[in-house]
Every structure is written in structure tokens, then in C-alpha cells.
């Protein structure tokens, strides 16, 4: 059985993930990458790299489909949040030319992409929920009623990779930070144990195959930089419940903060997370699960089979491209 050719868009710096896919394909299929910048290192570590327009360009989807046709691509996945609604919204168009978008449905992606909608979803389904305010008036009204304390956390409603997110210590600084800017939300600041969770939901059976939990020590540019694997049955159960309720599939990335026996879901990304390499090195082989699904094979669940105490420390490497 011929192995598939895969297209990874917005590949950026994710050279390790490209390496994992190439390893699992064992030369039986190609890993194609695309990015809007010719300085994306992953373009030069894949079997072939393409420079494409940004997702906001009207020619983006057409160019993507051209690459799929030229390279005989079987499936496409994106590594950045802003592309996910586009892929989810054009699933039928891509599938009509034989390309499988590895992405959840449009409704689920929309909720994951919008922090207000996610906050409302969590509240409706009874999950521990960080207090979230759409604007300053809503925050001030709540603060008057509940004596809501500082610090708070300011972040973009539709942000990616912690873009623009920072802690605010007083009302004056908050007003200054909000001044004239759109799509900023205010959240309760919770100082607790930060956990990153990688999840894989089988594309065929829709069963959860893997839940991998790591404790984060350090973040850099919105991605996990240093972490250690942990086993946490309570968090696994919480994540499984959440994922099933929202109907997510494929590779997922979640952040949970644990404080005083409560578990707050902070962010959910319907894509590979930047800290996924630790999961792979612990045996949670999502590239292989994807390849199996594309070949029509259902993966067997393996929840909690990895080893705790494995540490990951990212470090710099270089890609040289000669003229």
C-alpha cells in the first residue's frame, strides 16, 4: 500500500515535526511544506518547500490546491491558528480533489479560535472556567460586584502563540493597554501549575487514542520550551470529557492550569502544539497515527502508557540555505 504525501502549511520553525513525519513515512511518501516566508526553516528540511501567499490573500486557497495537485498530496494540516478556519470551511472543496484536511469541523474550530466562545462553551458544560471579560465595561462592572482583584491577564480574543498576552497589575495600566485596540479580552490571572496536553483523536473511529500531559517550566514565543512528562489521571479524564463534548478530531493542543484541586482549561488549539516533540519522544506517535488513518487503519487507544519524568529542553540549531 502506497504511503501518502502530506502537506504541512505554516511550517515555520517546526523542523522536528517535519523530521518525525519523514521518519514514519520511511521514504514511502513525501513531506511537503508551505509557508508565506522564505525564511521558514522547515521549508528546507522537508522533501519540498513552497512559498505561498499569507492566509489573508485571496489567492491563498487556490495556491494551496495547486500544490496538492502538483505533489499528489493526500492530506493537509496547518500549524497556525489563523489557517484552521479556512481549512475547516473548505473541507468539501479539498476532499473533492482527493485531499483530506486533518482538522476538526468548522463549528469546533470556530469555538477554539474565539476565546469568548470557548469561555461560554466551558461555562455551559460545567468546566472550571477562568473569569473572562469582553471589554473594560464588563470587567469594571464585575469588579464592583465581586471586588475582582488585580493582577489580570490581557490577551487577544483571536490570538495565536500568546501574541500580545501579558499580565496587568493595576487599573491605570489596563486602561492604557486597552486604549483604542480591538479584540482584546481581560481574564482572571491564575497562578498555578501549568500543564500542556497533547491529544490525538482517531480520524476514522473518532475515539481518543492518546492524552499526553507535560508540566511546563518555560515558554518562549508562545511555545513550550522546557517541560517534563507527568501522569495525571484526573486531568486525562477532564480532557477526554471536554474533547468528546466539543467533537474535536486529529492532533490537538491544550493548556490547563491546576490550582487548589481545580483544573482550568485556558487555551485549546485544534492542531499540533509547539511542545509536541516531548510526546513523540515518549512514544505518543501522532505522525504514525495520521499515516495509519490515511491508509484506512484505525489506531488502538493507548491512554497513559508513556513514562513520567522525561524532560524536554529545546535549543537552537541552524539551517543554511546557499544560493
Q: What digits encode the pLDDT tens for the residues 94-109?
A: 999 999 999 999 999 9
Select the more confidently predicted residue: 146 or 104.
Answer: 104
Identify the CA nearest to 62 among candidates 40, 45, 86.
Answer: 86
- What DSSP assignment string belongs to 96-129? TTT-EE-S--HHHHHHHH-HHHHHHHHHHTT---
- Strands 75-78, 100-101: pairing kind: parallel
* pTM assigned to the model: 0.93
- CATH number of the structural domain 131-188: 3.30.1490
Label residue 181 exposed, middle or buried (CB < 10 Å: 0-12, 13-18, 19+): exposed
Bond before 289 cis per omega within 30 degrees: no
- The secondary structure element, H or E, covering residue 60 is helix 60-70
Architecture of domain 6-103: 3-Layer(aba) Sandwich (3.40)
Measured between its terminal Cα atoms, the distance across the chain in Å is 38
- Domains of the chain: which residue ranges? 6-103, 131-188, 191-313
Share above pLDDT 90 across residues of the chain, in percent, rounded to a whole number: 77
Helix (H, G, I), strand (E, B), or coil: what is residue 219?
strand
Label residue 64 exposed, middle or buried (CB < 10 Å: 0-12, 13-18, 19+): buried
What are the residues facing 50 on neighbouring strands?
Answer: 34
Residue 120: pLDDT band (50, 70, 90) is: very high
Superfamily of domain 191-313 in CATH is ATP-grasp fold, B domain (3.30.470.20)
Amino acid at each position: 500500500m502506497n504511503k501518502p504525501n502530506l502537506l504541512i502549511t505554516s511550517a515555520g520553525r517546526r523542523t522536528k515535526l517535519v523530521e518525525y513525519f519523514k521518519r514514519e513515512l520511511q521514504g514511502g511518501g513525501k513531506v511537503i511544506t508551505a509557508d508565506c516566508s522564505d525564511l521558514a526553516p522547515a521549508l528546507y528540511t522537508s522533501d519540498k518547500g513552497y512559498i505561498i501567499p499569507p492566509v489573508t490573500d485571496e489567492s491563498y486557497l487556490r495556491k494551496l490546491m495547486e500544490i496538492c495537485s502538483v505533489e499528489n498530496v493526500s492530506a493537509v494540516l496547518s500549524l497556525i491558528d489563523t489557517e484552521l478556519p479556512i481549512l475547516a470551511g473548505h473541507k468539501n472543496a479539498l476532499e473533492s480533489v482527493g485531499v483530506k484536511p486533518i482538522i476538526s469541523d468548522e463549528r469546533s474550530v470556530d469555538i477554539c479560535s474565539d476565546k469568548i466562545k470557548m469561555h461560554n462553551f466551558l461555562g455551559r458544560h460545567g468546566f472550571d472556567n477562568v473569569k473572562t471579560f469582553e471589554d473594560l465595561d464588563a470587567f469594571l462592572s464585575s469588579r464592583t460586584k465581586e471586588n475582582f482583584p488585580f493582577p489580570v491577564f490581557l490577551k487577544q480574543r483571536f490570538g495565536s502563540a500568546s501574541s500580545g498576552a501579558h499580565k496587568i497589575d493595576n487599573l491605570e495600566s489596563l486602561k492604557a493597554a486597552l486604549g483604542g485596540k480591538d479584540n482584546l479580552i481581560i481574564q482572571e490571572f491564575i497562578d498555578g501549575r501549568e500543564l500542556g496536553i497533547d491529544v490525538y483523536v482517531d480520524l476514522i473511529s473518532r475515539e481518543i487514542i492518546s492524552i499526553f500531559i507535560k508540566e511546563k517550566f518555560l515558554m518562549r514565543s508562545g511555545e513550550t520550551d522546557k517541560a517534563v512528562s507527568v501522569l495525571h489521571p484526573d486531568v486525562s479524564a477532564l480532557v477526554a470529557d471536554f474533547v468528546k463534548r466539543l467533537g474535536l478530531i486529529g492532533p490537538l493542543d491544550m493548556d490547563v492550569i491546576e490550582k487548589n484541586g481545580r483544573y482550568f482549561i485556558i487555551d485549546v488549539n485544534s492542531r499540533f502544539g509547539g511542545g509536541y516533540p516531548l510526546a513523540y519522544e515518549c512514544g505518543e506517535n501522532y505522525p504514525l497515527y495520521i499515516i495509519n488513518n490515511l491508509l484506512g487503519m484505525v489506531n488502538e487507544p493507548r491512554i497513559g502508557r508513556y513514562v513520567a519524568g522525561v524532560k524536554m529542553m529545546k535549543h537552537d540549531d541552524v539551517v543554511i540555505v546557499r544560493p
